[in-house]
Structure 1
Amino acid sequence: HYFGHSSFRPKQWDIVKNALDGKDQLVLMSTGYGKSVCYQLPSLITGSLTLVISPLISLMNDQVTSLTLNGVAASLLSGTTSQSERERIMAEIEDGSLRFLYLTPEYVENASSLLHRIKSRVKLIAIDEAHCVSQWGHDFRSSYRGLARIRNTL
């Protein structure tokens, strides 16, 4: 009911089930096909925190706004997030109410203390635009290359 659709598109439910089972996945779908549902639904089903790492703050803002308008707690942390906003977000993580935390890869690169602090709460990590690393190589956001260690930290 969160997404306004009565059925899944092909492969979406398989991806959701695999996420619920804790399996790593590489999901390649066309723009507008419903990739976000594939990581949003598992978090809503389990009531857990999902980290979403994305290169574009404007797209993350759109996602946070959409989720919030649908009654789902979501926030964005970037280099421009104020101290008071970071404190509010940490309080929501610690009380278990935050479902989605959107981060830029650059923020993650410098947030090891944050990751250690929240690791018991995180159940899923979604890395948006990960395919660009293989398409663009070292020319694409160098911070993406360091994202593999997040899995080990969490």
Structure 2
Amino acid sequence: MCSRTVTQWLKMFVLVALTTATIVAKANDNGRSPFAEGWKEGVIQTRYLLNPALRAFAIQVTVIRDRAVLEGDVDTAIEKVLAEQVALSVEGVSRVDNRLLTCEERQEADPSFEPARDEGITPHTEFRMRRGTGGRELQKPLGDLTGRPKIGSRLRNGCPAIR
């Protein structure tokens, strides 16, 4: 009879020890592994790389628990919103702190900011159009006729070149 009570006490002790260890492990872990934040950053960067509308190397991603922080430069407000939505689509990210700046926002924040010119990157082709009898000439780079920046006009600061 004595051995039975010792066995019961031993089982009870093991059960309490395992339960306590599980609770302590959960409290220290908070439901995430040590590499979860880095994994989420990698997933977001990969999705930016695979998205043709976004320039992944101009966007820095930092994940802190369930919040992603986006910093860097984008060309338009649409790209800013798209980058935020891509980050929110990752499992485990529930909030996004979007600190991305568009060219217009950067110019408002720093009035001395002016995107650098890239005269040497793309061949500069001009055309001349004579208007009626006034003889005035309109000179425009060929890439500006379509309303899109010329190939190679994106610079390190993320803004299209202004001519």
Scaled by the length of structure 1, the TM-score of the pair is: 0.25
Q: Which structure would you say has the larger RCO, counting Cα contacts within 8 Å and 6 or more residues apart?
A: 1
* Structure ranking higher in helix proportion: 1
Scaled by the length of structure 2, the TM-score of the pair is: 0.24
